[in-house]
Structures are given as C-alpha cells and as structure tokens.
C-alpha cells in the first residue's frame, strides 16, 4: 500500500517525467509512502485506473500537459466514479493559469499552479492529517534552487539505457517571447554548477549517454555553457548524445571554439528562429538579431559537426502565407539538417493571447489547441501548411531524400514545396500511413507530372536515394531495364543525419 501516487502520461515510451521526479525527490518523510508511476498515451484509461488503485492510494497527483490533458480527463472521470474517496490533485502547465483551465479542473479536489516541489508535499501532509483545506486552487511556492533535492538519483537503470534523460542547468528564461510560457518568468536562475556537474558525472558513470537539456537558454551564460561542454568533451564516446536549446544570436568565439571540438553525431542544437520578420518579432516581444542568427547558423553548418534542429512557427500574429514562405526560404539557405515547421498552439497563460481579438486568432478548442485561422491566413491555408509540415518531415527532415530534395526545391523552396504538398495530397488524401516505397512512387509522380522535372533526372536522384534507404522492394517506377540499383551498405539513422 502506497498512500500517495505521482503519475502522468508521457507522449512516448522514450520520454521520462522529469517534473514528477523533482516532486518525488522533495517529498521528505512522505517519500517512503509515495510511488511514481508513468504511463503512455496509448494505454486504456480503465487499465491505468486499475494499476493506480492496486496501490490503494489516498492521494493521486497528476502532471497535466497539453499532450495528455484529454486522456487524463478520462482517467480522472473514471477514478471519481469507481474510487470517489481518493483525493485528486492536479498540476502542470495546463492547470497553472486560472481562470483559464481545462474541463478536468472541475473534477479535481485540489489544483496546484506553477512549481509544486514545496506546495505538493505540504498539501499532502495537511490532507493526511485530516485538514481538508477550503482553498481548491493553491498557488505553487517557488523554491530556492539551492534547497531542492536532486531528482537525478530517481532515474532507473532502464531509464538510462532506454529513455531520454532530461536535465536542467538553469530554470526560467529572461526573454519575453509571447508564444512561450517562459515569457512569464522573471529571469533565468542557474543551479550551482559544481553540484550540477557532479550529478552529471554520476549519471554518466551509471551509463547515461542521451542527455536532453531543458534549459530555455543554454548559452545565456557563456562561462557555464563552456564548462558543461568541456565536461562532456573529456567523456566523449560513440554513444554520447547531447541536446541543447540555444539562443541563435549568441555564439561568441570562445564558445565556438569548444563547439568545434565535438565530432559528428554528438551535439544537437534546437534553435528557435520562429520568424525572420522584424515586425512580427516586435509584435510578439521577441528580441533576435537576424543578421547574427544567420551568421551563426552558417558557421555551425560550415565549421562544426553540430546537428541543427531549427524551428519556424506557422500562424504568428501578423504573419501571412507569403511572409512565412520568406522566413522558410531564408532558413533553407542556411542549410540546417532539420527544420521543424510548428503550428502555433494556444498555451494557457501565454502573453500571445492578448492578440487573439485584434488578429482574429482562431484556435481549435481541443488539445493541442492549434491555430485554425488568423486575420491574415485563412483556414484553408493553415490546413495546407499543416500538410506542408507533415510532408516536410517525411521528405525534408527524414534524411532519405538527400539528392531528390534540391530538385524539388530548386530556386523557390517554399513555393515549390507547397506545390509538391498540394499535388501529393490530391493523390493520397492523407498525411499519415504512407509507406516508404509508396512515398518514393508518389514523389516520382508528383515531380514528373506536376513539377516538370525530366523523367531521366527524376529516376537518377530517386534511385540513388532509394538505394541509400535500404528498402528491398523496388518501387514501380524503378522497374525498368535501364534503371539499375548498385548494392551498397545501408546508411543507419545517425549516418543519414550527418548527410
């Protein structure tokens, strides 16, 4: 029997609930009667409820995010029917901005907004002592980072071998980009660097090799960034992978010097460009030097082995279809290995919501609350860009169309890929469940029939790319006597990323 359960639904098995590990680490004397249970989005609500209730809990705390709020609502509804005596406490970003709360809030006994490392165990002590507070919504108390107990010992050996290890060297963000909840932070606060690196060393010695830093601004404090990178430089091996979210216009020479020492396949930088339009940047309070951003992206591509994952956002207030295309074309010219075309989401509490009326920002009422239309981009064009984003993942980001992609994009990347998107969707009426062989066949049809690519040229590039994919079944368009595939070693995922 465990009196308290901390739980959530992760988007994928490879993910871990970092926030719940922080709560568990800071439960104090209640930790002995607390259990942390993680589930996945694909599991049935009734099955999850059964596993939770097997522990005979008195209190269940749920971490709720934009990706799991719908499923957790169903779980809480079931729990309230079959075990109404269990106290339900909800927290997480979806519950942190009253009165803007999801439907599940009505079902909760208590809601904790913001950080809960102090407030959750305090509330549990009250409840277990028989003190049922009359306040349903409790403002989470911010903790002094130096007083927080580390969550890192609570990664299991299976976590370290099979899942992403989330870590944070700092908490918060000094910037005010309105589409992001970090805009509500006052500043970024670092954890003590010596203690943090000691924790990283313990994780590394235990076998952790896949570190994802959740810091919003990893390169804000250059001295700390260099110290962390140098820590990993002396521990390089073939399995090490480091993911950082990087400010695009802040790469001084001494930081570049350290970055350049990493071999291929180790560093991945997530770089939020979002838009190159100065007017939109000003409108959403985003401070970004576009010239420095472009110069830094070019440097990373030309003088380092860093894998660049760059982000653009569809649907920002004031943006148009043509305007987004200009940002896309500028980013393409900088040659990042991946471009994440993200659709704007309505995050509860985000300052961008102040533009909803003036820019007629219409969002889906269901999670993840994606933008449906704006004053300047119609619903039809948002739908086209949704498909654009999906097909870009399949063609542009997959690493499987290395020779074919330049032929598709030519000298007008956005216009040409949108044309490709529209034609492909007309053929399949879907953006999902397109097998690789069929995708190659469809691509051949589109570029030869709709984009005036000569047949011989299309055959040459697609045959080369298909050969690299390692697929055995030959597509129909390659079933010609003069189209010969030469057997070569198959590129693995990491090798494809490096091309």
Read off the pLDDT band of 473 (50, 70, 90): confident
Asked if residues 260 and 304 have their Cβ atoms less than 8 Å apart, the reply is yes
Whole-angstrom Cα distance, residue 439 to residue 404?
12
Residue partners of 32: CB distance under 8 A and separation at least 6:
none
Q: What is the pLDDT of residue 199?
A: 98
Q: What is the pLDDT of residue 498?
A: 41
Is the predicted pLDDT of residue 484 greater than 70, yes or no?
A: no
Cα–Cα distances in angstroms (integers) from residue 201 to residues 211, 255, 291, in the given order: 12, 22, 37
> Can you give the residue ranges of every domain in the chain?
4-142, 155-377, 398-499
Mean pLDDT of 339-354: 96
Sign of the alpha-carbon dihedral angle for 437, 440, 443, 449: negative
Find residue 138's DSSP bridge partners: 112
For the domain made up of 155-377, give the CATH fold.
Answer: pyruvate-formate lyase- activating enzyme (3.80.30)
Q: Is the pLDDT of residue 95 over 90?
A: yes
Return d(Cα 278, Cα 491) in angstroms, integer: 40
The alpha carbon torsion through 131, 132, 137, 143 (nearest 10 deg) reads 20
pLDDT for residue 483: 54
Cα–Cα distance measured from residue 407 to residue 451, given in angstroms and rounded to the nearest whole number: 10
Check if the beta carbon of residue 62 is closer than 8 Å to that of residue 91: yes
Whether residue 22 contacts residue 172, with contact meaning beta carbons closer than 8 Å, is answered with: no
Please give, one letter per residue, the 3-state secondary structure of the chain.
CCCEEEEEEECCCCCCCHHHHHHHHCCHHHHHHEEEEEEECCCCHHHHHHHHHCCCCCEEEEECCCCCHHHHHHHHHHHHHHCCCCEEEEECHHHCCCCCCCHHHHHCCEEEECCCCCHHHHHHHHHHCCCCCCCCEEECCCCCHHHCCCCHHHCCHHHHHHCCEEECCEEECCCCCCCCHHHHCCCEEECCHHHHHHHHHHHHHHCCCEEEECCCCCCCCHHHHHHHHHHHHCCCCCCCEEEEEECCCCCCHHHHHHHCCCCCCCEEEEEEEECCCHHHHHHCCCCCCHHHHHHHHHHHHHHCCCEEEEEEEECCCCCCHHHHHHHHHHHHHCCCCEEEEEECECCCCCHHHHHCCCCCCEECCCCCCEEEECCCCCHHHHHHHHHHHHHHHHHCCCCCCCCHHHHHHCCCHHHHHHHHHHHHHHHHCCCCCCCHHHHHHHHHHHHHHCCCCCHHHHHHHHHHHHHHHCCCCCCHHHCCCCCCCCCCCCCCHHHHHHC
- Closest Cα to residue 30, out of 129, 139, 153? 129
Instruction: Find the largest Cα–Cα distance for the chain.
Output: 81
Model-level pTM?
0.91
Does the domain at residues 4-142 carry the CATH identifier 3.40.50.720?
no
Cα 350 to Cα 176: distance, rounded to the nearest angstrom: 10
pLDDT given for residue 267 in this prediction: 98
Q: Tokens in use for 45?
A: 């609500």
pLDDT in tens, 13-32: 999 999 999 999 999 999 99
Q: What is the pLDDT of residues 102-155, one digit of tens each?
A: 999 999 999 999 999 999 999 999 999 999 877 999 999 988 999 999 999 999
pLDDT band at 482 (very low <50, low <70, confident <90, very high): low
**Cα–Cα distance between 249 and 331 in angstroms, integer?**
14
Q: Which two tokens stand for residue 471?
A: 């697929």
Q: Which residues contact 124 (CB under 8 A, 6 or more apart)?
A: 4, 27, 30, 59, 89
- Separation of alpha carbons 300 and 331, rounded Å: 13
The C-alpha atoms of residue 217 and residue 245 are separated, in whole angstroms, by 6
Q: What percent of the chain has pLDDT over 70?
A: 96
Q: Is the pLDDT of residue 271 over 70?
A: yes
Q: Please, which residues have CB within 8 angstroms of residue 143's CB and are 6 or more apart in sequence?
A: 26, 115, 117, 118
What are residue 167's DSSP bridge partners? 213
Backbone angles phi, psi at 241, to 5 degrees: -140, 125
Residue 260: what pLDDT? 98
User: Rounded distance, CA 495 to CA 131, Å?
Assistant: 59
Give tens-digit pLDDT for 357-377. Answer: 999 999 999 999 999 999 999
Q: Which two tokens stand for residue 117?
A: 């490392």
β-pairing, 362-363 vs 371-373, is antiparallel
What length is written for the chain? 499
């Amino acid at each position: 029997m465990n009196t308290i359960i901390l739980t959530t639904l992760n988007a994928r098995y490879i993910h871990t609930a970092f926030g719940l590990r922080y709560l568990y680490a800071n439960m104090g004397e209640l930790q002995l009667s607390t259990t942390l249970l993680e589930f996945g989005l694909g599991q049935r609500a009734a099955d999850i409820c059964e596993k939770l209730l097997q522990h005979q809990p008195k209190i269940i705390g749920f971490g709720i995010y934009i990706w799991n709020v719908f499923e957790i609502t169903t779980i809480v509804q079931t729990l309230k029917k079959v075990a109404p005596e269990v106290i339900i406490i909800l927290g997480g970003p979806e519950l942190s901005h009253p009165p803007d709360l999801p439907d599940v809030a009505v079902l909760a006994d208590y809601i904790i907004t913001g950080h809960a490392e102090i407030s959750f165990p305090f509330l549990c002590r009250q409840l277990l002592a028989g003190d049922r507070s009359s306040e349903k919504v409790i403002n989470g108390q911010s903790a002094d980072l130096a007083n927080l107990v580390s969550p890192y010992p609570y990664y299991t050996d299976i976590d370290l071998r099979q899942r992403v290890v989330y870590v944070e060297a700092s908490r918060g963000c000094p910037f005010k980009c309105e589409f992001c909840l970090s805009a509500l932070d006052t500043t970024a606060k670092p954890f003590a660097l010596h203690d943090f690196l000691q924790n990283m060393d313990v994780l590394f010695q235990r076998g952790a090799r896949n570190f994802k830093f959740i810091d919003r601004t990893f390169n804000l404090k250059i001295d700390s960034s260099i110290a962390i990178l140098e820590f990993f430089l002396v521990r390089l091996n073939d399995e090490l992978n480091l993911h950082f979210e990087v400010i695009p216009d802040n790469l001084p020479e001494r930081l570049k010097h350290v970055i350049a020492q990493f071999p291929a396949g180790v560093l991945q930088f997530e770089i939020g460009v979002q838009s190159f339009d100065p007017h939109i940047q000003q409108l959403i309070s985003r401070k970004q030097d576009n010239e420095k951003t472009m110069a830094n992206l070019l440097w990373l591509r030309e003088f380092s082995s860093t894998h660049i994952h760059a982000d653009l956002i569809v649907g920002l207030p004031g943006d148009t279809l043509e305007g987004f295309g200009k940002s896309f074309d500028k980013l393409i010219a900088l040659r990042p290995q991946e471009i994440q075309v993200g659709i704007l989401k309505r995050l509860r509490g985000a300052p961008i919501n102040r533009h909803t009326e003036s820019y007629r920002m219409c969002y889906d009422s269901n999670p993840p609350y994606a933008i449906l239309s704006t004053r300047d981009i119609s619903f039809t064009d948002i739908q086209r860009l949704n498909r654009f984003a999906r097909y870009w993942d399949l063609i542009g980001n997959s690493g499987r169309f290395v020779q074919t992609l330049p032929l598709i994009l030519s000298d007008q990347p956005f216009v040409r890929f949108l044309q490709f998107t529209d034609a492909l969707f007309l053929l399949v009426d879907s953006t999902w469940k397109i097998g690789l062989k069929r995708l190659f066949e469809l691509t051949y049809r589109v570029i030869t029939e709709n984009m005036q690519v000569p047949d011989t040229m299309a055959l040459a590039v697609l045959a080369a790319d298909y050969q690299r994919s390692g697929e055995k079944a030959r597509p129909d368009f390659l079933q010609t006597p003069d189209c010969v595939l030469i057997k070569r070693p198959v590129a693995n995922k990491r090798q494809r990323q490096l091309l």
